[in-house]
Amino acid sequence: MVSEPSLLVGLVLLVDRIPLPPRPPVRRGRPRVYSDRLFLKALVIMVVKRLPRVHLLLAVLEEPTPEMGRLRALLTGEGGRYPCRRTWERRLAAVPGALPARVGCLGRCLVGVLTPWAERGRAAAIDSTLLRACGGVWHRKDREAGIVPHTSIDREAHWGKSGWHGWVYRWKLHLVTTVAAAWIPLAARLTPANAADNEVAPDLLGDLGPEVRFLLGDSSYDDGAPRAACAAGDRELVASRRGPYPHRDGGVEVRRVFHQLRSHAIENFNGQFKAIFECGGQVPTRGLRATQRYILGAIFVYQLTLLHRFESGADLRVGLKPFLRAA
């Protein structure tokens, strides 16, 4: 009797079926022995099992359980070769640089498969959310003096302004999601908290497919660079205007409706994402590259979860957290 694969194994197997963006031109040096998909599978395991460090992933994979045995088999390259520890560290350290393109590629694929705009306007919402850095905070006077008062401080994070909490020492997750019944992440970047939303927006818009007709944002995107990027992609940017309220200009009532749609989509998605992957507190990683791998990896796993649940006929908005806990 053959047992059914676990939910985690099912998510890992999905990596073999999804499209990946084209690889950059071949560089000089030793050719790669293991495929990029193998390390994407390892990333899925790291996120689902809450394993923020590579050495912890390898230790868990060595456990003599049936599930770990199946996962080790899925992480074996061509010719039956299993990567050594140094290869795991080196290749997983390079994963964050390619994750934004892979999130964008899978987002465009999900739009084609799930058809979220079959009965609604083709709108997407753009926003950023702050994530607490691991350890203590690095005060400005100490940073300017080059003094690190405590070893727990993540020196690659930065200060950012939150409308609710004021100045905070955090990371910033920039996102574009669909405004539809299913919240599909279409593009993502992770930066220190001092990165301006309007400066990161053009990079995000480059990952969107032609299906996106309207982009809904708050007043931080009411700027020339996002508008130029939208115009280049034949999209309409609908953003809140700066200045004292109430606004009296033409179109204010229409913008108010779009702003409500934007808030309902992306702010609820942010709350759900933080609850599922426990990002409401401090992130479990230190350093920009490790945090990008874990947080953008979580966005990638969220996308895979949508695809898995769509194929099994499950709800795309309800039950995602217990599904991943069961995995």
Q: 3-state SS string over 260-282? A: HHHHHHHHHHHHHHHHHCCCCCE
Residue 249's pLDDT is what?
A: 64
Residue 246's pLDDT is what?
A: 63
User: Measured between alpha carbons, how far is residue 14 from residues 17, 37, 46, 94, 264 in Å?
Assistant: 5, 10, 16, 21, 30
Task: Measure the CA–CA gap between 228 and 230, rounded to whole angstroms.
Answer: 5
Residue 3 has pLDDT above 60, yes or no: no
Strand 166-178, strand 236-239: pairing = unpaired
Q: Could you read off the pLDDT of 95-120 as tens digits, one per residue?
A: 999 999 999 999 999 999 999 998 77
Residue 2's pLDDT is what?
A: 43
Residue 320 has pLDDT above 90, yes or no: yes
Task: Measure the CA–CA gap between 107 and 208, rounded to whole angstroms.
Answer: 8
Residue 163's pLDDT is what?
A: 72
Residue 42 has pLDDT above 80, yes or no: yes
- Among residues 167, 168, 172, the alpha carbon closest in space to that of 127 is found at 172
Residue 304 has pLDDT above 70, yes or no: yes
Q: How confident is the model at residue 4 (pLDDT cuts 50, 70, 90)?
A: low
Residue 323 has pLDDT above 70, yes or no: yes
Q: How confident is the model at residue 296 (pLDDT cuts 50, 70, 90)?
A: very high
Q: Could you read off the pLDDT of 236-268 as tens digits, one per residue?
A: 998 877 666 666 566 676 777 778 888 889 999
Residue 256's pLDDT is what?
A: 76
How confident is the model over 43-56, as a mean pLDDT?
96
Task: Measure the CA–CA gap between 71 and 44, rounded to whole angstroms.
Answer: 11
0.75 exceeded by pTM: yes
Residue 26's pLDDT is what?
A: 61
In this structure, of 24-28, 238-242, 280-284, the range with the lowest mean pLDDT score is: 24-28
Look over the chain and give the mean of its residue pLDDT values, rounded to a whole number.
90
